[in-house]
């Protein structure tokens, strides 16, 4: 099945503690159905000090469920993703505006 959300897409969070926040997808795990979005779902991780880095509490983005994300269209609103054939190529498009993503 083709991926509706890919790395580099601008998305908005639909549910959870970060509802309404927007960010860019940095990585996607299709098998687990999760994605890491920068600036969203930040967790504090404790890091041990090493020669290279100072230890302490470091904020790190945690994965978020793909079903809780929606792509942002050109108007800045959440939209669903559809697929259509553009010539002989399959492309993604925004359902609200009809623009190719």
User: What pTM, to 2 d.p., does this model score?
Assistant: 0.83
Q: How far apart are the first and last CA of the chain?
A: 17
Instruction: Give the model confidence (pLDDT) of 59-95 as tens digits.
Output: 999 999 999 999 999 888 999 999 999 899 999 999 9
Digit-coded pLDDT (tens) for 76-86: 899 999 999 98
The SS3 call for residue 4 is coil
Q: List b or e across 35-74, with b for residues whose CB sees 16 or more CB atoms inside 10 angstroms.
A: bbbeebbeeeeeeeeeeeeeeeeeeebebbebebbbbbbe
The C-alpha atoms of residue 93 and residue 95 are separated, in whole angstroms, by 6
Contacts 24+ apart (CB under 8 A), 93-101: 97/73, 99/73, 99/74, 101/9, 101/71
């Amino acid at each position: 099945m083709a991926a509706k959300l890919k790395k580099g897409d601008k998305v908005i969070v639909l549910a959870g503690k970060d509802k309404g926040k927007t960010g860019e997808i940095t990585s996607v795990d299709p098998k687990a159905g999760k994605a890491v979005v920068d600036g969203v779902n930040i967790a504090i991780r404790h890091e041990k000090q090493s020669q290279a880095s100072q230890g302490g509490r470091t904020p790190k983005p945690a994965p978020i469920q793909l079903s809780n994300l929606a792509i942002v269209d050109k108007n800045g609103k959440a939209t669903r993703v559809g697929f259509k054939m553009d010539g002989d190529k399959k492309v993604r498009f925004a359902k609200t505006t009809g623009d190719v993503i």
